[in-house]
Amino acid sequence: MTKPLERELDLLLTAVTDPVFVMTKEQGTELRIKYANAAFVKATGCKNEMVEGCLLQEVLPLQTAETILLKIKEVGVQVKEMQWQQNIHFATGTRTAIIKIVGDCNADGVCTTIAGSWHDITDLMQEQQEKRRVEHLLHERVKELSTLHRADLILQSDTQPQEMLLEELVNILPAGWQYPAITEARIIFNGEQFCTKDFFATVDRISADIVLLDSCIGIIEVGYREEMPPAHEGPFLKEERTLIDMLAEKLKLFAGRRVYATQLFNEKELSDSVINNLPGIFYIFDKEGNRLRWNRNLETVSGYSHEDLKHLHPLDFFDGKEREFVATKIQQVYDGRYVEVEADLITKSGERIPYFLNGVPIFYKGQHCVMGFGVDISERRKSELELKEAELKFRTLVEKSQAGVYILSEGKIVYFNQRFAEIFGYTIDELMGLPVLETLVAPESRLAAKKYAYTCLQGRDEQMRFELWGVKKDGSINRIEFYVGRTVFNGKRALIGTVLDITERKMWEETLQRSEANLQSILGTTDTCYVLLDKALKIQSFNHKALEYLQREFKKAPVLQLHILEIFPPERHATLAGQMDEVLSGKQVNYEVSHRQPDESYNRYLIKMFPVSDDEQIFGLMMAVSDITEMRSLQQKMLEQSVEEQKKIARAILRAQEQERAWIGRELHDNVNQILVSSKMMLGLMETADKQNRELITRAKGLVDNAINEIRVLTHEELVPSARNDLKALIRSLLENLDRVAGLQVNFTYDDAVSVTDDELQVNIYRIIQELFNNILKHAAATKVSLSVISYLQGVKICVQDNGRGFNPANPSKGIGLNNIVNRVKSFNGTFSIDTIPAGGCRMEFIFPGAGRS
């Protein structure tokens, strides 16, 4: 053969889509591949240099190569031509092919060269399988229609006795069911019973009542003698339920026709009812294409009206090559054949709907016609497309996955993705077919690997997860996590799963465990309660102090993964959730809480919540609780001591003020006042002087009188009346003086049960009332004042109310002197309250508890 011819032949074989190969027969039974086209190389998944020059069993799957050798051996040394069908198992899956080989013999008649090819028929076989399934469904529908048709013919008779008709009807029923060989039937009609011979031995039954004019006149039953696989209703199909219901309807019409001959029960109405309740579309048309019968589904699906369908030829629903194909099939029906076809039915709106259609020849209304049934196969087409897309997505996902994916059969890796090879440092070509244990598993993990694989293969665990030490190509050790499940590969039990290299993750886990141990050691020795929460506010960790705190104060123990709010009372949930949301936004929240104890004391705690985060994100929050009960108690004691000291100082100041006031009053009364009186007497002696001097003297005497009166008033205010141990008398003397000076109307009430024995407290109360009335006179412009002194809380309560202009307590006038009054009240452990508004008068209350009572 010339070189150009060889190139042309090589070009031709490269263009061929079927794998083609040429082998030379060597010593014994070995076959070595001399030539392989591109389709052969692609199908085997090998590189070109790994095909040509290699033994057949090194390239093709071992089972396929052994079959070819066996076929050659069966026909002897002179291989001429042979062909057979076989499954070929590749890493990408199992394919079914027609293998053909032909031999070339030398001058001695010994075969030295063998050429071969195979044709992939996998898709064709799947299509044939689907076709057989649809054929089976149509066959079942034909059986059901045939049973209905035969029942129709039997029940049309008006001359045969009823018993004979029903006996004939019950015997044709088994042929209409899915398993006719084990099907039995019974009809009870107007009290009479008709059965097939073994009806009472059935284990599963389906039945329908025969109802005429709201009265049950019988029942029709069909059953199987053996237990069959479950379907729509027990072991019965949905269509079989429709069939038995239709038969019951026919018997109803039969009874109606027999009993009520005048009623309009006729065969056409029954047929229309049956046909219109069939799934899919139904049609009968003659040779001219005139449509004689059809069901409502055809009108619904096509969009044509009843009148439109009368004038449409069956081929009007198709176009192009499908129209010609359907026309050929229709002609085959008229030739007496049963036909099936898949084609797109074109509706009135132009929509194309894929349908599976069949046709059978019948003799109807005196002429040869076609009767057929059609099923919408849109869902099947869609499923087929989705299956192809799913397979493509699966392959893409597996090849791009960051996890290693593998299939293990008979101890060898029969499929794996690129990532699987990379985890162990191999290429796909290097790893293909290598034993797993000896190659990829470290010696110390091999026994465990065998145990896990055996357990999963034997069905003890459907899926397993385990970790092993792996061995990389360079001999280094890595930590591998295996996920494995049981599957079937080429008809044999196999393992399928994924692998992850977790060497780095394990290193970090060990580091984390050490850190966790250190943290737990710290948390276990501190007096602070710590609770770690994730972003969902679920407990991730807590120390022993936190356990004690939560059990002591909330009677609940923390549990890992428990939502923290479940521990606290419902009324605190909203506040806590808001505070924790703030923390998860990056803020720190601090506050104090107190918990009442059975002995009426309180435990106080400082709560600190802060986010747990790195530089980029927040992972959760930490709640720290510190017991500050003792600290706050000590602070309170110190505060109380400080307050008492301040009160002592204040009372000492008040005593000093009173003493100073008394001294000033006495000096004014005893010295200054005596000087003024003497001056007045001397001025009186001088009244005998001349007239001009008398006028000056008179004016001087008036000024001296005014000075004496002012000193008397001043000494009265500065000096407390001497009626000690009688608070009522002290207050009354004050009010009498005010009445003389100011003419103010005062309503005074005094509870005789009040007894104040402390002289300092009496003076203090006197000064408070005095200051209040001075303020009323200076600022309130009041005309009426009510003053009451009553016994209250083992002490005294003083209430002063006026009808003056009032004031704003938040911004009182500087001259009102409230600070002086407040200091006096607090120095004796008293309390006070003010109720006033501008232009609304004023009411003040002062309480001195424990002041004593009679």
Percent of the chain residues topping a pLDDT of 90: 19
378: enclosing H helix or E strand = helix 378-400
401 or 420, higher pLDDT: 420
**Residue 815: predicted pLDDT:** 46
Q: Cβ distance 496 to 406 under 8 Å?
A: yes
Region 184-188: mean pLDDT is 94
Examine the pLDDT at 155 and tell me if it is beyond 90: no
340 and 259: one domain?
no
620 and 540: one domain?
yes
451 and 468: one domain?
yes
Examine the pLDDT at 670 and tell me if it is beyond 60: no
End-of-domain residue from the set 446, 469, 501: 501
Looking at the structure of the chain, the number of domains it has is 6
Beta bridge partners of 194: 187
71 and 164: one domain?
no
Confidence of residue 690 (pLDDT cuts 50, 70, 90): low
Q: Lowest-pLDDT range, 17-31, 167-181, 610-624, 832-846?
A: 17-31
E strand intervals along 314-473: 339-346, 352-364, 367-376, 404-409, 412-416, 463-471
408 and 371: one domain?
no
581 or 449, higher pLDDT: 581
Distance CA 310, CA 298 (A): 12
Ramachandran sector of residue 233 (left: φ over 0; alpha: ψ -120 to 50; beta: rest): beta
Examine the pLDDT at 369 and tell me if it is beyond 50: yes
Q: Lowest-pLDDT range, 66-75, 155-164, 259-268?
A: 259-268
Examine the pLDDT at 396 and tell me if it is beyond 50: yes
Distance CA 378, CA 86 (A): 33
Residue 640 lies in a domain: no
Confidence of residue 339 (pLDDT cuts 50, 70, 90): very high
**Residue 328: predicted pLDDT:** 92
Examine the pLDDT at 234 and tell me if it is beyond 70: yes
101 and 222: one domain?
no
Q: Please state, as a whole number, how many other Cβ atoms lie within 10 Å of the Cβ of residue 458.
A: 10
**Residue 598: predicted pLDDT:** 86
143 and 263: one domain?
yes
115 and 206: one domain?
no
The residue written with tokens 């250190």 in the block is: 518
**Assessment of whether the complete model's pTM goes beyond 0.75:** no
**Residue 537: predicted pLDDT:** 92
145 and 265: one domain?
yes
Closest-CA residue to 609 (of 505, 537, 523, 527): 537
Kindly list the distances between the CA atom of residue 197 and the CA atoms of 149, 200, 202, 227, in Å, as whole numbers in the listed order: 23, 8, 11, 18
End-of-domain residue from the set 95, 120, 145: 120
Confidence of residue 263 (pLDDT cuts 50, 70, 90): very low
Region 806-821: mean pLDDT is 68
Distance CA 169, CA 247 (A): 10
Residue 246 lies in a domain: yes
**Residue 708: predicted pLDDT:** 60
Average pLDDT value for the chain: 80
Q: Lowest-pLDDT range, 135-149, 466-480, 786-800?
A: 135-149
Residue 706 lies in a domain: no
End-of-domain residue from the set 60, 87, 120: 120
675 or 34, higher pLDDT: 34
Confidence of residue 91 (pLDDT cuts 50, 70, 90): low
pLDDT tens digits along 533-558: 998 999 988 888 888 888 888 888 88
**Residue 3: predicted pLDDT:** 60
Region 131-159: mean pLDDT is 81
Confidence of residue 286 (pLDDT cuts 50, 70, 90): very high
Q: Which class for 541: exposed (0-12), middle (13-18), buried (19 or more C-beta within 10 A)?
A: middle
252 and 173: one domain?
yes
Confidence of residue 318 (pLDDT cuts 50, 70, 90): very high
Residue 641 lies in a domain: no
Residue 65 lies in a domain: yes
Residue 559 lies in a domain: yes
Confidence of residue 265 (pLDDT cuts 50, 70, 90): very low
Most confident of 93-97, 250-254, 300-304, 526-530: 300-304
Range of the domain at 355: 280-381
E strand intervals along 535-676: 539-542, 589-596, 602-613, 618-627
**Residue 262: predicted pLDDT:** 41
Q: Please state, as a whole number, how many other Cβ atoms lie within 10 Å of the Cβ of residue 793.
A: 13
CATH code where residue 29 lies: 3.30.450.20
Residue 62 lies in a domain: yes
Confidence of residue 719 (pLDDT cuts 50, 70, 90): very low
Residue 386 lies in a domain: no
133 and 271: one domain?
yes
745 and 817: one domain?
yes
Q: Cβ distance 637 to 645 under 8 Å?
A: no
pLDDT tens digits along 635-653: 777 776 666 666 666 666 6
CATH code where residue 807 lies: 3.30.565.10
CB-based contacts of 302: which residues, under 8 Å, 6+ apart?
Answer: 309, 317, 345, 347, 348
**Residue 196: predicted pLDDT:** 93
Percent of the chain residues topping a pLDDT of 70: 81
